[in-house]
Structure 1
Amino acid sequence: MFGRHLQRLRRAPGLFILTQSMPVTMLLFFGYVFGSAVALAGGADYRAYLVPGLLVATAANGIMAGMFQAAADNHRGVMDRFRTLPMSRAAVPIGQAASEVAQAAIGLVPLAAVGYAVGWRIEGGFGPAVGAFGLLLLFRLATAWVGIWLGLAAKSEEAAGQLGGATFMLPMLSGAYIPTAGMTGWLRTVAEWNPISAVSAACRELFGNETAVTAGAAWPVAHPVVASVGWSLLLMAVCVPLAVRRYDKSTK
């Protein structure tokens, strides 16, 4: 199942290139169009702040990608064929989730390279940087499982597409692109309890790009590394069994 999804990339390279180039386009757009309008505490460079957030937003796209693929396979009869094969019911969703992580690992390279070109630097050392990239892949795995479950539960491909489009707003309502400290009280609370905010803050800390935690910050933002691992494990603990059960349930 993992190999099947990699074969899909070889047969549709244009779609893969488009999805991988979109974060780079967003980096250039946000960094240069909006960058001059965003003032960070201490005069920190906005593009250095933005790159870790975009890396996390790319990882969060596992929801959309997992949902589209699972819904397409489910409603086009592909999974009906898989269910006739003598293999574990968990093999299909696990293979898709693993392929999502592999694609995310590939996609991190051009985004990090362009980020380096526009001024972002890894200042926290080699070990913490490896931890940051590992955290990004763990979060991608977690969001892929969320997407797979939602895709299997969707009534149609169209419904999955509409719901997937709505997930594009999740990074907007977080600390991925702008600091949460300047948000209205209730909005700041919502944004800081968004898992994307915790992972973004954790990556900035591990890359050495961290900004000072402001007074009144929610617990996940004040303890980002622990919160990021916790969010990822919690999402998988909930969605892995739900996705596998949903796949198995549809056979009956």
Structure 2
Amino acid sequence: MSSIRWAVADGWTMTRRDLAHWVRQPAPVVVSLLFPILLVLMFGYLLGGAIAVPGGGDYREFLLPGMFVMTMGFGVESTLLAVTTDASRGVTDRFRSIPMAPSAVVVGRCGADMLNSALVLVVMAACGLAVGWRPHGGPGATLAAFGLLLLLRFAFLWVGIYLGLVIANPSAVTLVQVVVWPVSFLSNIFVAPDTMPGWLGAIATWNPLSATAAATRDLFGNPGLAGGWVGVAVAWPLLLVAVFFPLSVRTFRRLSR
């Protein structure tokens, strides 16, 4: 129990350190808030009229749950950049020389990014309400949908932390961006997979982003694919966390060897 309290206290200290950086340098946070809004306006108003919704309905109500999911997926880049920046500046080496819990640095990074993600979701939801999106599933289902979104973000955080520790080079963010964009579009975020060629649609259907998008549309009561995706939307993030959380902690420990 003493070790657990030590790890929690050190993790919270590192979280406060990252939050202090955002207060002093708010530009990256502001960009992370404004960029998804720009995408909503572009796809909702410029392209939405040309896209059919599965089963009919308003395209913006179909789009917004997908945009929530896409925003959670894009968090991989910001997490990776923060981790690699600390590594390139020697900050990570200094942390390793301090008597702290081995998990504190990665847990602190995760805690700060989760708070930022919750703020992004609030801003995105407000933007969605402004452009005509409405949740129709009731308070409990709406909270469950946002819980699934944060669970997905939590999973991708550990992917970003692990990649940042392994690569340790800020320029590698460009490579991750090259991967993140096709993965995001190869899903049901913007269009239904049945509009794609058969083999491509099958890949898009089982994309972790697609599972969460389909589940949240169902919980929000928005138009989209048939229900039954909530279990898959929970299983995918738990699998990613089970793989990348221990890898992240183990990699951080091995950096000093």
The residue number in structure 1 matching 2:234 is 229
The question of whether the paired residues in 2 share the 8 Å contact of 1:105 and 1:137 is answered with: yes
The question of whether the paired residues in 1 share the 8 Å contact of 2:72 and 2:150 is answered with: yes
Note closer, same or farther for the CA distance 1:210–1:44 as it changes in structure 2 (3 Å cut). Answer: closer
Aligned mate of 1:93, from 87, 92, 106:
106
Counterpart residue type for residue 159 of structure 2: V
The residue number in structure 2 matching 1:107 is 120
The answer as to 2:245 corresponding to 1:240 is yes
Contiguous gaps of at least 5 residues in structure 2: 1-13
Mapped partners of 1:64, 1:238: distance in 2: 19
The question of whether the paired residues in 2 share the 8 Å contact of 1:62 and 1:141 is answered with: no
Contiguous gaps of at least 5 residues in structure 1: 214-221
- Give per-residue Cα distances to partners, 1:27-57, cap 9 Å, x unaligned: 0000011101101234311111000000011
The question of whether the paired residues in 2 share the 8 Å contact of 1:49 and 1:204 is answered with: yes
| Structure 1 residue ranges, 4+ long, deviating more than 6 angstroms after superposition | none
Counterpart residue type for residue 67 of structure 2: L
- Give per-residue Cα distances to partners, 1:186-213, cap 9 Å, x unaligned: 1011111110000000110111114343
Q: 1:155: how far off?
A: 5.0
Note closer, same or farther for the CA distance 1:250–1:212 as it changes in structure 2 (3 Å cut). Answer: closer
The residue number in structure 2 matching 1:83 is 96
Counterpart residue type for residue 226 of structure 1: G
The residue number in structure 1 matching 2:136 is 123
The residue number in structure 2 matching 1:66 is 79
* SS of structure 1 residue aligned to 2:184: coil
The answer as to 2:149 corresponding to 1:136 is yes
Mapped partners of 2:75, 2:198: distance in 1: 29
The answer as to 2:220 corresponding to 1:207 is yes
> RMSD over aligned Cα, in angstroms?
1.3
The question of whether the paired residues in 1 share the 8 Å contact of 2:53 and 2:59 is answered with: yes
Q: 1:129: how far off?
A: 0.4
Mapped partners of 2:182, 2:250: distance in 1: 28
Mapped partners of 2:179, 2:55: distance in 1: 34
Q: 1:114: how far off?
A: 1.4
The residue number in structure 1 matching 2:10 is none
Mapped partners of 2:93, 2:174: distance in 1: 21
Listed as ranges, the matches of 1:160-179 within 5 Å are 160-179=173-192
Mapped partners of 1:24, 1:138: distance in 2: 21
Aligned pairs, number: 244
The question of whether the paired residues in 1 share the 8 Å contact of 2:103 and 2:249 is answered with: yes
TM-score, normalised with respect to structure 2: 0.91
